[in-house]
Structure 1
Amino acid sequence: MSEPSNVAKYGLICLAVSGCIALEHIGRLKNLPIKPSIPFQFMHDKLKILFSWIGEHFAKISSFLSLIDLTELKQTIYDIVSPICGIVVSPLYTVEGYINALVNYKPRWQVYLGSISICAIVTIGLYYFNKGKYFDGLKGYVSKMISN
């Protein structure tokens, strides 16, 4: 049995992400209480509290150890980290713009057709990028997951 290729793994990740986006969209349309974003929001809130607590205690400890004034440290770190995070997160604004355009025009079946088309284009692109080995790797990856 062949090892799954990286392209097959990325293809499964793309399908999972597009499935989460579709489920989130359906959940918002139907006002369902269960959406894929809820665990991520919960994790984000908990990590925010944790890192804020760590930062406060680090500031207290380091202010005793040094004579550096740390009142502007938070803004300095924010000024450094914010553009880096913006670069990483900026491709997500493409998805946000796409979803906002769909919401403003309120299409029904076009949303699902567009999502399926994007998945098909990504899959075909990965297939040709890997010279036809994508589906072999995907078959090996799925069979390995089932056998375990």
Structure 2
Amino acid sequence: MVNTRIDERLIHGQVAGIWSTSLDTQRIIVANDEAASDPLQKSSLRMAAPTSMRLSVLPVAKAAENICAGKYGKQRLFLLFKNPTDVLKFLDAGGPIETVNVGNMSYKEGAREVTKSIQVLEAEEAVFESITSKGVNITAQLVPNDPAIDFMKKLRS
């Protein structure tokens, strides 16, 4: 696993071009129940993904199951989540994560700004606390050239 990221836009320029290339990714795994069950969204994600990379769009529990079973062998995996709730579901399903990078969460009514690109609701703050309580390190980093910052320290300040 070369990167685990929360980005509500899923596959877009930063993920497809900058992150995947700099990490020499071989497969992008989008773990999101909604995307996995929506043929139109799956098709859009396939078009957005680099042609040189494999793509899996899976329900969260299936992504955890496949990774735990070693289904992807020695492939360099980039695991992508739409929101922190999906990360927690993945962990609860036995999925292995040491660090998760928060990239982009846009403004929603009632959200507060943690960084310029990350706005969180109170309910999401509790989810991030749960993720941390499972021993996962959470960073914020928009692109690889930016320094990774301690997301929880920023969230709690």
**Considering the TM-score relative to the shorter chain, is it more than 0.5?**
no
Which structure has greater strand proportion? 2
Which structure has greater helix proportion? 1
